[in-house]
């Protein structure tokens, strides 16, 4: 295995940008605005209905002001309560985003440095992972050094066994899966940028079928997506509870 560097290209920056601090802050602000409005609307309507109900129930006992007389006070109280609750949540998110240990800070460093790492890998065996919940095509790639790289995503659909992968890959100039692979990622954050086949087509030996929950589930216990996992492939398949079906 050899390692080299390259300059981040525009496509790499587009991949990294959604993870950056600026983008995270923008999403946090939008979430705060939406949550504040929804809480305000729910509180104002609920309190207004309760006010009218109490007015109808207790007006014969004592003087209860009409809703029209108190609506501005209720409006202000609902606004303060909704802004207080959503603001506390948004402030906690802001602290997490701006933390020097957060992913956003690491992505900012990657964008500033402008460098990507390329690992030139030799692949000896491949198993395609059966899709469970629209997570995309997945591939377990056993490397010559014993590690297993698990790549998954909808961008890998063209290389699935369900299509003609060799013809499709060659048409796009990327033979995947391949016995030689250039795997690029951002060095600080570890965000995957691309995986390009550089050798001969290596057909998956099997389908790896999930016996438990897929990657989208909170109970997922399979290999780490878009990352290196401890191998070899046979042991990983057994350890993660896959059912291997030969192609």
- List the chain domain ranges: 15-107, 118-246
- Give 177's contacts (C-beta < 8 A, 6+ positions apart): 123, 126, 139, 141, 159, 165, 197, 201, 202, 203, 204
**Paired tokens of 99:** 């933390």
pLDDT band at 140 (very low <50, low <70, confident <90, very high): very high
Q: What are the angstrom distances between the C-alpha of 201 and each of 19, 90, 240? A: 33, 49, 26
CB count within 10 Å of CB 232 equals 14
Question: Strand locations in 66-191, DSSP E?
Answer: 115-129, 137-143, 148-153, 180-185
229 with 148: CB under 8 angstroms?
A: yes
Tell me phi and psi for residue 196, to 5 degrees: -115, 125
> Quick one: how far is CA 153 from the chain centroid?
11
More confident residue, 143 or 97: 143
Closest alpha carbon to 176 in 131, 227, 128, 134: 128
The pLDDT tens digits for 16-74 are: 888 887 777 777 677 777 777 777 777 777 777 776 666 666 565 556 566 566 666 66
State residue 171's pLDDT score.
47
Share of the chain above pLDDT 90, in %: 21
| Token pair listed for 216 | 């989208």
- The yes-or-no verdict on residue 116 having pLDDT over 90 is yes
Judged on CB neighbours under 10 Å (0-12, 13-18, 19+), 62 is: exposed
User: Mean pLDDT for the chain?
Assistant: 79
Question: Nearest Cα to 206, choosing from 123, 96, 129, 120?
Answer: 129
First to last CA, the chain: 28
Q: Sign of the C-alpha dihedral, residues 64, 65, 70, 73?
A: negative
> Which of 113 and 19 is assigned the larger pLDDT?
113
């Amino acid at each position: 295995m050899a390692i080299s560097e390259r300059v981040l290209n525009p496509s790499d920056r587009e991949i990294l940008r959604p993870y950056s601090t600026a983008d995270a802050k923008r999403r946090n602000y939008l979430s705060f605005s939406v949550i504040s409005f929804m809480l305000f609307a729910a509180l104002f309507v609920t309190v207004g209905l309760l006010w009218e109900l109490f007015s109808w129930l207790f007006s014969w006992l004592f003087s209860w002001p009409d809703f029209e007389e108190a609506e501005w006070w209720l409006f202000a109280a609902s606004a303060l309560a909704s802004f207080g609750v959503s603001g506390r949540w948004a402030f906690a998110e802001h602290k997490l985003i701006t933390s020097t240990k957060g992913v956003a800070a690491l992505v900012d460093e990657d964008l500033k440095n402008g460098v990507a790492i390329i690992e030139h890998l030799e692949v000896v065996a491949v198993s395609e992972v059966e899709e469970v919940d629209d997570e995309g095509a997945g591939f377990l790639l056993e490397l010559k050094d014993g590690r297993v790289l698990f790549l998954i995503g909808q961008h890998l659909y063209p290389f699935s066994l369900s299509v003609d992968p060799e013809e499709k890959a060659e048409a796009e100039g990327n033979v995947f899966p391949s016995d030689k692979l250039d795997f690029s990622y951002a060095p600080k954050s570890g965000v995957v940028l691309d995986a390009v086949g550089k050798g001969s087509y290596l057909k998956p030996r099997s389908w790896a079928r999930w016996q438990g929950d897929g990657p989208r589930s909170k109970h997922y216990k399979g290999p780490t997506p878009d990352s290196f996992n401890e191998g070899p492939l046979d042991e990983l398949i057994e350890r993660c509870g896959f059912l291997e079906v030969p192609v």
